[in-house]
């Protein structure tokens, strides 16, 4: 899963296992890959690995007016700088110099070369707007940057905004910006970069934290009243922009999950999920109406309806094969989530096909898949379902709702996850 096309990736001098990995970013709503396939820098997950040559930067000289030195810093394509336009007659320019102790990775919608990980808007239901020009994207072209320490403990910090092809970041007159007590400038991007650090890491005991906004200089703030409001939130000195295992990063159109290399080492792999699928199928679960054996399709066929596909009544959790009892005869029409009455307990509710969650990085444990998200039908372990059901993800300009991590479809308010009830074979 190491990123392809990344120049200057280094290998540990004491290890033959390949590059030193800082961590990975995984796009929520992608069940193992982008809907149209992973291509180049546009993919569902991106590994941040130590580069052969450090490319990190840190702030240095501050020019407080439109001086020749400031203009030179902006026009010099070898010099990183951030420009804060205070008025038509005054611009503060902060020069950045090379930092040999860090690596920088940039994320955004732009396909220009400074962007390491190209992210497009995620549409609920496992689709993206990558090939559609009808919906205007709310993700910034140069959304954010992550700075990783090249030496242990390989900490990763996030900052709003990324440097463009000219190595500049411009904050215009309308952008929220201010001068700090130490004389340095800081600001927020138009739609902001929001971060949520979970409590107790990313594990069975994880609890969601509070959403915060990260500034261009990496300071932490409470949320603005609306996503693009001019007035910044309150600064939270007690919190940090350092990413932890399970941190969520929202770019206003797509949400990314940060997993550390250490965290991923304790996470189930795709092979492990395949073993769990085979064990589930080996139990030969049976449809209580048709008495036919049910089987989850292979992970490679995760989006193709199969004749042995398990279906479930989401009000009660009873698992069946597809049948026309008490409803329509066409499974494609049925998949549109028409209400049906369960023949086992008479509970009425959505009747949907079940799909295994194939993105292993979303799992908080390695337990068997026993629960499904409602109303999408993605199946995972009990604690994974419980964890994601209590996380409220940013939606629109100021709304939040819980969603399935595998398809980002909003969860049912009545019951976001449901325990599945399988019937064993009669013999």
318/419 Cα distance (integer angstroms): 9
Is 74 in the same domain as 214? yes
Is 71 in the same domain as 213? yes
Is 306 in the same domain as 254? no
- For 71-101, letters b (16+ CB in 10 Å) and e give eebbeeeebbbbbbbbeeeebbbbbbeebee
Residue 325 is predicted with a pLDDT of: 64
1 lies in some domain: no
Residue 82 is predicted with a pLDDT of: 95
Is 172 in the same domain as 42? yes
* Residue numbers of the domain that contains 407: 270-419
Residue 218 is predicted with a pLDDT of: 98
Using an 8 Å Cβ cutoff, are 184 and 233 in contact? Answer: no
Is 45 in the same domain as 158? yes
- Beta strands 117-118 and 102-108: pairing type? parallel
Instruction: Tell which of 237, 266, 295 closes a domain.
Output: 266
DSSP state of 48: E
Residue 356 is predicted with a pLDDT of: 94
Unique residue bearing structure tokens 């250490």: 262
Nearest to 161 by CA among 131, 181, 185, 182: 185
The number of C-alpha atoms within 13 Å of 367 and in the hemisphere containing its C-beta is 14
- Beta strands 45-49 and 21-27: pairing type? antiparallel
Q: How many helices (H) and strands (E) does the chain have?
A: 5, 29
Residue 87 is predicted with a pLDDT of: 83
Residue ranges of the chain whose pLDDT lies below 50: 1-16, 130-134
71 lies in some domain: yes
390 lies in some domain: yes
Instruction: Tell which of 223, 238, 266 closes a domain.
Output: 266
Is 238 in the same domain as 283? no
Is 366 in the same domain as 260? no
Is 109 in the same domain as 253? yes
Residue 68 is predicted with a pLDDT of: 63
Q: What are phi and psi of 267, to 5 degrees?
A: -100, 145
Is 106 in the same domain as 48? yes
Nearest to 373 by CA among 425, 413, 423: 413
188 lies in some domain: yes
Instruction: Tell which of 213, 236, 266 closes a domain.
Output: 266
9 lies in some domain: no
Is 346 in the same domain as 371? yes
Residue 89 is predicted with a pLDDT of: 80
Residue 278 is predicted with a pLDDT of: 95
Is 257 in the same domain as 306? no
99 lies in some domain: yes
Is 159 in the same domain as 239? yes
* Number of domains the chain is built from: 2
13 lies in some domain: no
Within 10 angstroms of residue 242's Cβ, the number of other Cβ atoms is 14
107 lies in some domain: yes
Residue 420 is predicted with a pLDDT of: 97
Spell out the alpha helix ranges (H) of 176-322: 261-265, 270-282
Secondary structure of residue 107 in the 3-state scheme: strand
pTM for the whole thing? 0.89
Using an 8 Å Cβ cutoff, are 52 and 8 in contact? Answer: yes
Nearest to 146 by CA among 105, 207, 85, 97: 105
């Amino acid at each position: 899963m190491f990123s392809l096309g990344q120049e200057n990736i280094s290998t540990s001098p004491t290890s033959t296992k390949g590059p030193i990995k800082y961590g990975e970013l995984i796009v929520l709503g992608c069940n193992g890959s982008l809907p149209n396939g992973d291509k180049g820098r546009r993919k569902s997950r991106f590994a941040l690995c130590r580069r052969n040559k450090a490319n990190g930067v840190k702030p240095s000289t501050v020019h407080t007016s439109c001086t020749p030195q400031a203009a030179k810093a902006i026009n010099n394509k070898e010099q990183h700088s951030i420009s804060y336009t205070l008025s038509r007659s005054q611009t503060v320019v902060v020069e950045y110099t090379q930092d040999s102790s860090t690596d920088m990775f940039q994320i955004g919608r732009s396909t220009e070369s400074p962007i390491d990980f190209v992210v497009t808007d995620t549409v609920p239901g496992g689709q993206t707007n990558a090939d559609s020009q009808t919906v205007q994207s709310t993700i910034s072209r140069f959304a954010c940057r992550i700075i990783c320490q090249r030496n242990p403990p390989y900490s990763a910090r996030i900052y709003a905004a990324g440097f463009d092809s000219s190595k500049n970041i411009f904050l215009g007159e309308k952008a929220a910006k201010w001068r700090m007590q130490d004389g340095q400038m800081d600001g927020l991007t138009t739609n902001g970069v929001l971060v949520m650090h979970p409590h107790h890491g990313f594990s069975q005991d994880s609890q969601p934290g509070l959403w915060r906004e990260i500034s261009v200089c990496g300071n932490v703030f409470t949320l603005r009243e609306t996503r693009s409001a001019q007035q910044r939130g309150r600064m939270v000195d007690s919190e940090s922009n350092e990413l932890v295992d399970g941190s969520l990063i929202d770019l206003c159109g797509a949400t990314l999950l940060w997993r550390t290399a250490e965290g991923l080492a304790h996470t189930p792999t795709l092979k492990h999920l395949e073993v769990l699928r085979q064990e589930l199928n080996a139990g030969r679960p049976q449809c209580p109406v048709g008495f036919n054996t049910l089987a989850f399709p292979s992970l490679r066929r995760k989006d193709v309806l199969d004749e042995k596909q398990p279906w479930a009544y989401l009000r009660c959790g009873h698992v069946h094969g597809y049948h026309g009892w008490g409803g329509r005869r066409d499974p494609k029409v049925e998949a549109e989530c028409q209400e049906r009455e369960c023949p086992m307990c008479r509970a009425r509710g959505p009747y949907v096909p079940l799909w295994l969650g194939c993105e292993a990085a979303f799992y908080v444990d390695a337990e068997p898949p026993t629960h499904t998200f409602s109303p999408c039908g993605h199946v995972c372990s009990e604690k994974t379902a419980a964890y994601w059901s209590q996380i409220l993800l940013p939606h629109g300009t100021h709304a939040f709702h819980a969603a399935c991590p595998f398809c980002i479809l909003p969860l049912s308010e009545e019951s976001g996850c449901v325990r599945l009830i399988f019937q064993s074979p009669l013999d």
